[in-house]
Structure 1
């Protein structure tokens, strides 16, 4: 795992794209503050850039660097959840403009998975996490299901957990509105 983190870190720092395991499904990722890298992820996925992608962070203490105001309820939800949960926050900041939704929101998940936690901690910035599939195709539930076109298009494929055949699940998604109302998007 250490060697994979080192190689992935080098790619991210140089504006490249990685294919990596997350706390949910395998993801395509890049520096969430780099517009050119984000653009490449949209191109690899053949996804319209009007469909936003989420970012991973390793620590909820860093949310204030990327969201104008973090509602207390978000921190409570992060504390009590027992499975991966993406929260959509209003008023994103300090992220690539083409990553932020047209309404100014961004989906952020605090990862509990060892590889991504260490990678993000060492990178010191959030990374994009979008399912490793061509837009419209079903997400790959493990590495063996990832389309070869995705594997060929990225700059680095993480070796860690490639042999894990566990069927992965996408995260739940919760949106916290400007009025602090909570809406469940996906359970």
Structure 2
């Protein structure tokens, strides 16, 4: 894999403490969206840890995420969408909408069979894709105004510790076009989202326990009576 070409960080935008109805907040959103639409990579807060994101439709940007992180190309990226209703545009949803609304937005990644509408250069060797709707206003609002879902992964070099502040992934700053600083995120743990495969009707498979295992099982197993494939 070729080395990623470092470039000066354009800027850090601090949004911690900003209300969603302020001019400063909306200006930050617009600037972030423009960077993404231009094929850039950003550091962005979520409800669990900081992530690196790009537009999933821009193949070169997706490639740059792998090179930046030193990530094996066989490891898939997740997709961040703005609403539960938008999931069916890029996935073959195999569960009721009520179940989706019980888990999302939240610290859970739901895995479904991908639809042909998804960029074929994103996770090309995988027939499934993980979907995120973080319960964090900035990335939710960003997903709403972007023209295409975001490709999303953790803000760290591959296999290293996740980041709950922007300072913790400072070695990556020079390789990013923009960093959004929302202060410390998450619940104190550095665990990422709970990842669950729901691609089989009536069944679930936990791929990664993550930070929301207990609540996820309560929804899947206890409320909707899904059976584990394990």
Equivalent residue in structure 2 for 1:76, among 70, 93, 98: 98
Taking the aligned partners of 1:128 and 1:88, their CA distance within structure 2 comes to: 14
1:95-134 counterparts in 2 under 5 A? 95-100=118-123, 102-134=125-157
Bigger Rg, which one: 2
TM-score (norm 2): 0.72
Other structure's SS at 1:78 match: helix
Structure 1: gaps (5+ residues):
none
TM-score (norm 1): 0.88
Other structure's SS at 2:87 match: helix
| Residue 47 of structure 2 is aligned to residue 23 of structure 1 | yes
Match of 2:184 in 1: 164
Other structure's SS at 2:195 match: strand
1:131-142 counterparts in 2 under 5 A? 131-142=154-165
Taking the aligned partners of 2:167 and 2:161, their CA distance within structure 1 comes to: 13
Q: CA RMSD in A?
A: 1.9
Match of 1:36 in 2: 60
Taking the aligned partners of 2:124 and 2:109, their CA distance within structure 1 comes to: 15
Residues 91-130 of structure 1: per-residue CA shift (max 9 Å, x gap): 3332232323523110001232110111110113210110
Taking the aligned partners of 2:44 and 2:167, their CA distance within structure 1 comes to: 13
Aligned length: 182
Structure 2: gaps (5+ residues):
1-24, 210-230
Cα 1:181/1:139, change in 2 over 3 Å? same
Cα 1:117/1:44, change in 2 over 3 Å? same
